[in-house]
Structure 1
Amino acid sequence: MNSFDTAIETFLTKLSFGFVFNHAIKALTDLYTFKGLVLIPVLWWIWFQPGERRERQREMVIATIVSSLLALATGRLLADLLPFRVRPLYDPNLHLHFASGSLPDAMLPTWSSFPSDHAMLWMSVAAGIFIVWRRVGVLALLYTAIFICVPRAYLGFHYPTDLLAGAAIGIAITYVMTRDSVRTRYATQSLRWIERYPGPSSMLAFVLCLELITQFDELRKLVSSISKHL
């Protein structure tokens, strides 16, 4: 572990806020309510916002959703391709005691810590909100940093560099995918299809947003369970 990660993780483990605070931090990291269920509804708000720029705003929502899917897929791909990095909580060489105690998900110890898919996904969504609405977007970026990223370092789920790299990649993906020259290649036609078939598109949008909020956790667990028995 580099000196930057060492200094921050050591500092965080020395902080003592008591049982109630630690329990609240665990709730922030465990519950979908405090992650996607905060940010995804903002995209729906943008979608139904009236005005002259309505079509562009809807294209930006489509581009943000596509970016978030790419960010999540990229995070998994990088974690598989790059050298495996043990999560701080499971690294005995650190000799650090985190407030989390242990991770509830048995799959996580086998997943590389770098980069953070949480940071990549939700920074991607927050960046999309920021591009459309600056003031709300600033709040979305701050919320993601403070309530999604920092707790994961505090509990030993990720190193700070995991989170910084994930955030940077997620923001970069959204920035590229929302550029006019790129966005119009797919979002414009997608919007036409949505307007032509509102029933099926609304159903698919609901399912897709639900899966994003849960980060496809149940599907990933299902695939992992099936693969173990094949």
Structure 2
Amino acid sequence: MNIFDYSIISFFNQFAQRSVQFDQLVLLISDNVLLKGGFILALFCYAWFKEDSFKIVQRNREYILITILASSVGIVGARLLVLSLPFRLRPLHNPEIALQFPLKRDFLEGWSSFPSDHAILFFTLATGLFFVSRILGSIAIAHAIFVISLPRIYLGLHYPTDILAGALIGIGVALLVNRRKISSRITKLPMRLLDKNPSLFYSCFFVVDFEIAEMFNSLRNIAKVIFSLLSSFT
């Protein structure tokens, strides 16, 4: 492990297991769907329905749509990236790190830590929201840092470089897809569906937002069961 990662992890670790209440608070923040995905998507809902001129509303909704779509694809790409890159033990499981973490040693055992899919998802969302509103984007970036990223370092789930890599990927994806030539083409069909059949649009929009809020855990569980069933027949 490099000195950059170790120095930061060591700094945070000096506060670990000193207060049961504080450790439980960090665990709550790190694991609670409402505080993570629920909060950021509430910001998106506010931005979506915020009243303004027709032209600005349409533009902002294009930014929101492309960001939501990019983050959905990005989280799938993040898992593929994690699986394709060399396996990296999480700090929690690394025997070379003589530190004590609040979590049990078997938590997420066998899951590679690099890069952080949480960082990829939430920095994509935060950067995309910045195109809509600097205030909302700043809140979202602060949320991605203090609610999403730092607790995962404190708990030993990620190295700082895992977070930095994920953040850079997420920011890069959001900057790329929010270029006007790209976003207007990709969002053309969803925006047309919104005009012609808003009931169907918002039904689909809800499902996608719900999956983002819970980090696609429902789809992951369904995929695992399907894969297990298919494997039993081979």
Q: Report the counterpart of residue 62 of structure 2 in structure 1.
A: 59
Aligned partner of 1:41 in structure 2 is: 42
How many residues align? The count is 227
Whether 1:92 aligns to 2:95 is: yes
Equivalent residues in 2 for 1:125-204 (5 A)? 125-204=125-204
> What is the SS of the residue equivalent to 2:109?
helix
Contact 1:153 1:159 in 2 (8 A): yes
How far the C-alpha of 1:100 sits from its partner, in A, is 2.0
The question of whether the paired residues in 2 share the 8 Å contact of 1:79 and 1:114 is answered with yes
Does structure 1 residue 23 correspond to structure 2 residue 24? Answer: yes
Which amino acid is 2:24 matched to? Answer: H
Partner SS for 1:66: helix
Alpha-carbon distance, 1:183 to partner: 0.6
Kindly indicate whether residue 90 of structure 2 is the aligned counterpart of residue 73 of structure 1.
no
Q: How much does 1:45 deviate?
A: 1.2
Post-superposition Cα deviations, 1:181-204, rounded to whole Å, max 9, x if no partner, equal 111111133211221111111111
TM-score calculated relative to the size of structure 2: 0.92
Q: For 1:98, what is the secondary structure of its paired residue?
A: coil
Identity, % of aligned pairs?
A: 34
| 1:208 to partner: Cα distance | 0.9
Deviation at 1:121, TM superposition (A): 0.2
* Whole-angstrom distance in 2 between the partners of 1:103 and 1:39: 29
In structure 2, relative to structure 1, the CA distance for the partners of 1:103 and 1:134 (3 Å cut) is farther
Could you tell me the TM-score, scaled by structure 1's length? 0.94
Aligned-residue Cα RMSD (Å) equals: 1.4
> Any conservation in 1 of the 2:190–2:201 contact (CA below 8 Å)?
no
Question: Contact 1:70 / 1:173 at 8 angstroms: preserved in 2?
Answer: no
CA contact (8 A) 1:64 1:174 kept: yes
Is the CA contact 1:13–1:99 (under 8 Å) kept in the aligned structure 2? no
Quote how far apart the aligned CAs of 1:226 are: 3.8
Equivalence map 1:211-222=2 (5 Å):
211-222=211-222
